[in-house]
Amino acid sequence: MSNYKGKSREEIIQQDMRDLHKLGYAQQLFREMGGFSNFAVSFSVISILTGAMLLYGYGLKFAGPVINTIGWPLVSIFVLCIAASMAEIASAYPTAGGLYYWAHRLGGRGWGWVTAWMNMVGQITITAGIDIGAAIYFVGLLTRAFGVPADAPVPVFGTINSWGFYVFAMIIIMIPQILINIFGIRLTAMLTDFSVWWHIGGVVVMAALLTFFGKYHNSFSFVMQAVNTVNPLDAASATFADGTTGPALVVGTFVMKSPLFSIFPGLVNLYKAAPYALCFTLAFLQAQWTYTGYDGSAHMAEETVMARLNSAWGIFLSVAVSAIVGYVVLMSLTFAIPNGDIAATAGDAYPVLYIAYQGLSAFGANLIAIIVFGGMWLCGLASVTVMSRMWFAFARDDGMPGSGLIKQIHPTLRTPVNSILITCVIAVLTCLYSAAYFVVTSISTITLYIAYSTPTFLNLRNKLTKKGEYTTPENAPWSLKGWGPLINLIAVVYTIFITILFCLPPNELVLWTMVGLAILLVLYWQLYEKKIFTGPKKASEEELKRLEAEIAAKAKGKGD
């Protein structure tokens, strides 16, 4: 266990490097981040100005105001259990490989490989969801702020609200995110630090504007309402080529009858009856997708000083602070729903902008619109950072096609340039796969939470059986002590629940996408990777020092 007490910053960095060497890796990345910057990365990817705002209408239409009043705190409690479980493991294994490395140490190379792929798919789709969501929101901002028609014509793409134009806007948004990530961890850390204050300050400004200057102030009984304004069956249905309507599976512009409803015809009556338990839990996607990306603190461990403690606290505190700040902004919006009209607000293409522009002056509404978009852009920046580090870490152990290219580090910038570029291109291509925004968010939620809870399950299993490696207060300075097994169990059971939940219609495409992904991964593992993949490659101390010396020499040579 690392002991940081009484040591200088340089001594702590040397201790962190020794810890990393024990895990088998060389110090290739700059170790510049302090505890606040590490926390800021995860807090920025969670970004309550992104997930909670983009899916505000999704939660509202299924469950009504109570999804914010009660649903957000409820989901927050379960997510804190998952975050605490992850933080403890991060404290024991502070490496950029994060979840993949943990699963390998706790369960073996097969578990590690599956966890890595879930994490990689999750990182790609969460970045895709953030930046395509920001693009959609930015178009809404322009139309509301400047009075542009929602379907205004644009060259090449047809209209400003076409999916093609959204993807184009996404690319424009991502270009500066890519460049900033390429040009170094210092600039990225500065912006993610700034992102914390932008989010917290922005929420304070939004709450103050809506509370003290807003036209509408609903009652406490209103915000406790449980109302379903969109029937789940209608949400899961589409119009077929013959003009009829029914439960459907939609892939881009292709519409077919729902295989799930065909297999289980009783679902039609269940969805039509719309029991509130179903509607309320479907609406969890709003909060659950917001609470993704906090594994970023683990992936930045090799760039963080005092990593065993700071990475763990970064994971846990990013969720805890987001829970509080997110609740403030959600309640200020819910109390300000215009005329208490839930259906009109949920049905608007941009519910948060609808609340702002209906309830405030043009200046106040524009200010809120800019605050929210700024938070989304900063969220995307941090997500690109985390995504590229995760892919780099797995490629370093040759766990995927193209590993030799992806694992390269730029000699002077000391950033994984190829990983940044490749993952961002894949994120854009992911948005071409489906024009259904909620599908992207559901896939990212499911795959990331499987990756989050797989190491937790393995850690719990090993604790209970007293076999293999597991966390203890001796090897994990950030420890749950005797509460660990209970908190781990809650985390695992809740993850199983939401994995099933978010595969249900109206997100049926997620189900078949996950089935297809599972089949491909099984085939790829059995036919190829199982024979050659050995897991994390632990080099000797001499080899690690040689590699670090080479990196330092290249950096010095380029610098001269």
- pLDDT class for 442, splitting at 50, 70, 90? confident
Token pair of 482, please?
Answer: 């005797």
Alpha helices in 301-361 (DSSP H): 307-335, 342-347, 351-359
* Mean pLDDT of the 497-520 span: 92
Q: Is the pLDDT of residue 278 over 90?
A: yes
Cα gap 256→247, rounded to integer Å: 9
Q: Is the pLDDT of residue 543 over 70?
A: no
Strand runs labelled E in 185-301: 237-239, 245-251, 254-257
At 18 the pLDDT is 67
pLDDT in tens, 371-402: 999 999 999 998 998 899 889 888 888 888 88
Greater confidence, 131 or 9?
131
* Mean pLDDT of the 275-295 span: 93
- pLDDT class for 560, splitting at 50, 70, 90? very low
* Mean pLDDT of the 123-136 span: 91
**Any idea what DSSP says for residue 29?**
S
Whether the Cβ atoms of residue 326 and residue 53 lie closer than 8 Å to each other: no
Q: Is the pLDDT of residue 4 over 90?
A: no
The CA R_g of the chain, rounded to the nearest whole Å, is 23
pLDDT in tens, 57-88: 999 999 999 999 999 999 999 999 999 999 99
Q: Is the pLDDT of residue 221 over 60?
A: yes
* Mean pLDDT of the 407-423 span: 86
At 440 the pLDDT is 78
Token pair of 32, please?
Answer: 């510049």
At 400 the pLDDT is 84
* Mean pLDDT of the 280-300 span: 90
CATH class, range 47-79+102-145+152-230+274-292+323-559: mainly alpha
Q: Is the pLDDT of residue 537 over 80?
A: no
Beta bridge partners, 33, equal 304
DSSP codes of every residue in 356-395: HHHHS-HHHHHHHHHHHHHHHHHHHHHHHHHHHHHHHHHH
At 529 the pLDDT is 86
Task: Name the residue ranges covered by the structural domains of the chain.
Answer: 47-79+102-145+152-230+274-292+323-559, 232-273
Whole-model pTM: value is 0.88
At 40 the pLDDT is 86
Whether the Cβ atoms of residue 236 and residue 247 lie closer than 8 Å to each other: yes
Cα gap 97→393, rounded to integer Å: 5
Range with lowest mean pLDDT among 87-101, 106-120, 229-243, 314-328: 87-101
- pLDDT class for 434, splitting at 50, 70, 90? low
Beta bridge partners, 153, equal 159
What type of residue is 201?
Answer: G
Neighbour count for residue 549 (Cβ, 10 Å): 11
At 430 the pLDDT is 86
Cα gap 28→477, rounded to integer Å: 24
Whether the Cβ atoms of residue 177 and residue 377 lie closer than 8 Å to each other: yes
Whether the Cβ atoms of residue 379 and residue 291 lie closer than 8 Å to each other: no
Neighbour count for residue 469 (Cβ, 10 Å): 15
Q: What are phi and psi of 248, to 5 degrees?
A: -140, 155
Q: Is the pLDDT of residue 325 over 90?
A: yes
Please give the C-alpha separations between residue 415 and each of 297, 320, 388, in angstroms, as whole numbers.
17, 30, 9
Nearest Cα neighbor of 449 from 206, 125, 218 is 125
Q: What are phi and psi of 246, to 5 degrees?
A: -175, 180
The answer, yes or no, to whether the previous bond of 338 is cis (omega within 30 of 0) is no
* Mean pLDDT of the 448-456 span: 95
At 30 the pLDDT is 52
Token pair of 331, please?
Answer: 């309640």
User: What is the residue-averaged pLDDT of the chain?
Assistant: 88
Most confident of 29-43, 219-233, 505-519: 219-233
Token pair of 475, please?
Answer: 């090897």
